[in-house]
Amino acid sequence: MHRLVLMIIVLVIICTISSPTTVCGFAAKRKVTSQKKHRIKKKKVHSLESLLELENELHEKGYTYVIGSDDSGGAGCIAGPVVVASCCILQPYYDTFLSTSSSSTTQSKSEVLVSQSEMAIPSKDGCKQTSVQPEVQVSQSEMDILSKVNDCKQLTATQRQDIYETIQSHPEIFAISISQRTPEEIDEVNINRAQMLAFAESIETLVEQHELPFDSAYSIVDGQKSPKLYASQRIQSNDGEEGLKVFKCRPYVNADANVYCVALASIIARVVRDEAMQKLDEQYPLYRFSQHSGFGNKEHIEILHKLGAIEGVHRMSFKQVKGR
């Protein structure tokens, strides 16, 4: 009997050491899982060269204007607007600007990095005319700032602000369009629909303001879904083909971390929304909007329990806000 008990104890010890489903094995498995989660959370910061790769490929295929779009204040937020920004680097500065920004050559801060260049412009009769564009002053210090462009979540508030101001100071290089949807509009159509409407409006406005030709434009939207452009103008003909021909608009998951123009758009949208939340913070200091930025985190929910939701500020249709 004692020998049988001893054998059972030995077998239990062996199983405990070798089996991944036992206590010891489970502890080891948990440790690996925790490390894996840590690796997933830590996003890779891509190089400037890799961020420009897709845009360079599209330009080689004949797309002159690559438009990047991203939003800030989406489904994770329960207060404030959703802001969508679109950004495009205009010709004839694209090749010179991007090749210079990725260069490691040291240059004087006062040196002209984007200079006079020629651009072939099609005339009404189909013949190409050459247009000499004016000199564009971009200092080395500005190029250093722009070389740090990445997913806005990987940058500090100061870095985002510096990049935003640099972009704004060069409208001859950067075409920008911003569209917003208020909390009331989000409640009316739901957040997903509001985002798509803002994306479409932002892209269409940029194209129209700068008179970009459809046949040489290409739009990239961060996320799993892209908007239907010019939806109100699409006319179905008898054979089922759309009467309005538009340019390519494709979704790209994590485009803000992989495509330069989308990263620019993510920064612009984030800065604009942060400014809106700062104004709300000044108007309603007890709600601490500048700290949680309208996200539905624990701090924000606790404040809602104490003070209640604000009409026109909070998204009243959201589950976390209902009844508060």
**Is 72 in a helix, a strand, or coil?**
strand
pLDDT in tens, 192-230: 999 999 999 999 999 999 999 999 999 999 999 999 999
Residue whose structure tokens are 């001859």 = 172
pLDDT tens sequence across 274-284: 999 999 999 99
Percent of the chain with pLDDT over 90: 59
302, with CB counted inside 10 A (0-12, 13-18, 19+), is exposed
Helix (H, G, I), strand (E, B) or coil at 217: strand
Residue 21, pLDDT > 90, answer no
Confidence bin at 94 (pLDDT 50/70/90): low
- Note the pLDDT of residue 228: 93
State residue 284's pLDDT score: 97
**CA-to-CA separations, 178 to 93, 258, 265, 268, in angstroms, rounded:** 22, 21, 9, 8
pLDDT at 4: 61
**What pLDDT is attached to residue 91?**
74
| Contact between 296 and 77 (Cβ < 8 Å) | yes
What is the mean pLDDT of the segment spanning 237-266? 85
Rounded to whole angstroms, how far apart are CA atoms 52 and 73?
A: 26
pLDDT of residue 245: 80
In order of 41, 94, 241, 302, the CA distances from 198 in angstroms are 29, 26, 26, 30
Cα of 307 vs its chain's centroid, Å: 32
53-70 confidence digits (pLDDT tens): 999 999 999 999 999 999
Angle, vertex CA 312, rays to CA 311 and CA 314, nearest 5: 75
Give the pLDDT score at 313. Answer: 98
Terminal CA-CA length for the chain: 67
- Two tokens, residue 130: 């050459």
pLDDT band at 233 (very low <50, low <70, confident <90, very high): confident
Residue (of 63, 58, 57, 67) closest to 208 by Cα position: 67
pTM for the structure as a whole: 0.77
Contact criterion met (CB below 8 Å) for 249 and 262: no
Give the DSSP letter of residue 256.
G
Helices (H) and strands (E) in the chain, counts: 11, 7
pLDDT digits (tens, 9 = 90+) for 250-259: 999 999 999 9
Give Cβ neighbours of residue 201 (< 8 Å, ≥ 6 apart): 84, 179
Higher-scoring residue by pLDDT: 44, 284: 284
How much is the average pLDDT of 147-164?
93
pLDDT of residue 62: 92
The predicted pLDDT at position 240 comes to 53
Contacts of 266 (CB under 8 A, 6+ apart): 70, 72, 85, 151, 152, 153, 222, 256
